[in-house]
Amino acid sequence: MLIDVTGVFYKGSGFFIFLTLCILTSDASSQPSFSDVTLNKGIQTCQNEQEGFGIGSSAADFDSDGDVDLFLATPEGDRDRLLVNDGAGNFQNMASQAGIDVITRSRGGLWFDHNNDRRLDLLVTTDCFRTACETFTTLLTLYQQTSTGTFTNVTAQAGLTDPALSRDWHRSGVAAGDLNGDGYLDLITGYWEGPVKLYLNQHNGTFIEVSQSAGLGSSTEYRGHWQPMIIDFDGDGLLDIYFTIDFNVNKLWINQGNQDGVPVFADMGLISSCDNNMNDMGLTMADYDEDGDPDIYATNIFRNGNHNVLLENQSTPGNPACVDVSAMAGVMEGGWGWGTTFFDANNDTHMDLVETNGWHINGWEQPIRLFIQNFNNLKTFIDQAPSSGLTSLQWGSSLLALDMDRDGDLDLIESVPDACARNRPFDLPLGIYESTLDNTNLDKNHLVVKPRIDGLNHFAIGTKVQVTIGNRTLTRWVTAGTSFLGQEPAEVHFGLADLTSIDQLIITWPDGMQTIDHNLAVNQLLTYTHTPFIFKDDFE
């Protein structure tokens, strides 16, 4: 079948119109396959059990050498780990050399360029949950990366000192995004039993806390916050915030624009039916139904009527709307759910779902669930975890999908909060599950796109990337902060089955400009760089 596609391709300061004919090629489906390679990847040290509800890991190419590295948060008494990738998916802990191997309890981390010097900095979160708060001087630590690849603690200078006020305040996840459109990344974080905090970037390496003036609730409004994500949910060009809430309604804060430079949000969870009210914990978003907007998946504890929730996005600009399609999709039943992510597990072009489960009490040892989108009945899923080799019963919290060995398929990284705590000899603080599609003699074509900006927000957080294959459009977003206390790298992956070319690629940058390319070969990692237009007003 042939279709016509017309668009504008921006390149440098010029543009041109093109017309191309796109050919719909056949689909192919394959069985996903994973192998537990943790012991072979340099992760061979136990750690203490983390007090509280989970621990996070954050993935990014922090040293800009082309492969994905990991920051692993650790319990008090254990040193944080910076796992540097050698390019083949093997990791070496370089935290000591980098200057970030502290022994204070950490809960999670986030890679982001806080001062726009094109080097990724690291925000480390912690809490004094169920311990002596007076030993914690701050619950946030910002490490600024230097030109030599080491890190300097700039927390106080940045204004991010967050005092430990209550041993009941368990740290939630953190996300970054340019919420007021000034080119600088802002931060949203909070506590499970405590307030939300929005830190607005001041362009000089400092932040101010603006949650109340931004409409995110009072400082005494406690809910049970778990994981935020920053994404343009309703398609109006402004970044919004979604927050999973334990024991209460989820929050969907829709961006209303700026007031005196501060982004102002309206809580539209209730009127949009996006405010699920269960024990929502882990969070991921993707366009699983291929209509161009991000759908929501949140994990829960499967009991007493609670279940994992798939909310299909039916928004129009300025009018967010969700429909719960969990039962129809077959993704309700997980277990004691934590981290989760959408990804194409078998490179068949369709988005799949994976989630961690478990709890460190008898009877809640549960395996990962891998929901593969049913090729014969799209928008429904079948759990293929056992047949895919995902059978571990360890309690996993954060869960990330990334291509650690650059072989074209996505691997899984699982954080394990109670590693070595139960005297089991092979428990480690990570579970690394390598995708072995390349050993199955099945088609696994792919494309990886790295959007970058020659200017502010260099890592292009908030960018949307779309590829057209015949009469279908696949959509991905570059975000910072997801899953459960986790983060995936600033790149997007498309599984392409047996397709040999891509009709069209469209990158919509945070400033609304688009880069359009066409007739692309598969099995590439492509970096696109956007140079924003500079207007006279930018200097006034």
CA atoms within 13 A on the CB side of 285: 30
In this predicted model, what pLDDT tens digit does every residue of 309-356 receive, in sequence order?
999 999 999 999 999 999 999 999 998 999 999 999 999 999 999 999
- Cα separation, 264 vs 247, in Å, equals 26
- Cα separation, 217 vs 195, in Å, equals 8
Q: Which residue's structure tokens are 């799209």?
A: 378
For residues 349 and 474, is the Cβ–Cβ distance under 8 A?
yes
Q: In what order do the strands lie in the sheet with 411-415?
A: 34-36, 430-435, 411-415, 399-402
Mean pLDDT of 423-428: 54
- Alpha-carbon separation of residue 97 from 45, 73, 80, 102, 148 (angstroms): 18, 17, 12, 12, 11
> DSSP state, 151?
E
Band (pLDDT 50/70/90 cuts) for residue 400 is very high
- Cα separation, 170 vs 109, in Å, equals 15
For residues 534 and 520, is the Cβ–Cβ distance under 8 A?
no
Q: Indicate the pTM of the whole model.
A: 0.92
Mean pLDDT of 463-475: 97
Kindly give, in sequence order, each residue whose CB lies less than 8 Å from that of residue 479, ignoring residues fewer than 6 positions away: 175, 177, 229, 230, 231, 285, 461, 462, 488
For residues 142 and 120, is the Cβ–Cβ distance under 8 A?
no
Whether 440 has a pLDDT exceeding 60, the answer reads: no
- Cα separation, 198 vs 423, in Å, equals 40
**What local confidence, expressed as pLDDT, does residue 44 receive?**
65
**What local confidence, expressed as pLDDT, does residue 422 receive?**
56
Q: What is the mean pLDDT of the chain?
A: 89
- Cα separation, 481 vs 318, in Å, equals 24
- Alpha-carbon separation of residue 470 from 55, 286, 352, 501 (angstroms): 42, 20, 21, 10
**What local confidence, expressed as pLDDT, does residue 420 receive?**
63
Kindly give, in sequence order, each residue whose CB lies less than 8 Å from that of residue 512, ignoring residues fewer than 6 positions away: 237
Q: What percent of the chain has pLDDT over 90?
A: 73
Whether 359 has a pLDDT exceeding 90, the answer reads: no
Q: 44-53, 71-80, 238-247, 415-424: lowest mean pLDDT where?
A: 415-424
State the sign of the Cα–Cα–Cα–Cα dihedral 312, 471, 353, 177. negative
Whether 362 has a pLDDT exceeding 50, the answer reads: yes
Query: Closest Cα partner for 289 from 355, 354, 412, 381?
Result: 381
* End-to-end Cα spacing for the chain: 52
- Cα separation, 144 vs 123, in Å, equals 9
SS3 503: strand
